[in-house]
Amino acid sequence: MFTGLVQSLGTIDRVSVGAVTDLWVTSTFDPTDFVLGESISCDGVCLTVVEFQGPRFRVQAAPETLRRSTLGNWAPGTRVNLEKALRAGERLGGHLVQGHVDGVATVLETRPDGGSWVMRFSLPSSLAAFFVDKGSVCIDGVSLTVTSVESDRFSVMLIPETLQRTSLGAKGVGAKVNLEADIIGKYVARMVGLRGGLSEAQLKAAGFE
């Protein structure tokens, strides 16, 4: 479990594609704090540390992960948002994030608004039911608040601190990002669907998987 508060801005060092994809990531994490098998959110994707050398660590991604996220497009030099798993008893500064990507969205617009930065994204139809105005969303591992939502798009606003500490400010129109809808919203939507008499097939068609 994560919070969507980015702890390090990492860089992809090396990518090796095989039965599984191996990725080496350079971070600013304390090299003495790594544990084999621990989970790290990389641009919102929960991955397992299988090896580490100082601040560098290696993770592996299965074909399903490549299909459901932007990870298949990562190459040496790609900047990624990193967060280690939440420890019991720590503050929940963002919102509950699983690191399970629900879909990929496209940047539709970026523009300044005062001292902040507005970003508008496409909204996959299968996820539309989980988005509400002023609700939470995780974009590339960053916990953000939805500032407006329409049937096929939504917007967020980034403060200067978020622009400095994450990779989102560098993404222009057409860039792809990982989306994870708020888990509480997903459970509420499913319960409402079940109470409304929808079948499992209808729920799945509506995106309530």
Q: Is 48 a catalytic residue?
A: yes
Question: What Rg, from alpha-carbon coordinates, does the chain have?
Answer: 17
Q: Is 95 a catalytic residue?
A: no
Q: Is 145 a catalytic residue?
A: yes
Catalytic residue chosen out of the listed positions 16, 62, 148, 205: 62
Catalytic residue chosen out of the listed positions 16, 28, 48, 125: 48
- Written as six digits, the tokens of 6 are 């980015």
The DSSP H or E segment spanning 162 is: helix 160-165
- Written as six digits, the tokens of 129 are 């039911």
Q: Is 3 a catalytic residue?
A: no
Q: Is 88 a catalytic residue?
A: no
Catalytic residue chosen out of the listed positions 3, 21, 39, 167: 39
Catalytic residue chosen out of the listed positions 21, 29, 41, 46: 46
- Cα gap 166→140, rounded to integer Å: 9
- Cα gap 196→38, rounded to integer Å: 40
Catalytic residue chosen out of the listed positions 16, 28, 145, 148: 145
- Cα gap 72→58, rounded to integer Å: 16
Dihedral sign, CA of 36, 69, 207, 200? Answer: negative
Q: Is 39 a catalytic residue?
A: yes
Q: Is 2 a catalytic residue?
A: yes
Catalytic residue chosen out of the listed positions 8, 11, 26, 100: 100
Task: Give the residue numbers marked as catalytic.
Answer: 2, 39, 46, 48, 62, 100, 145
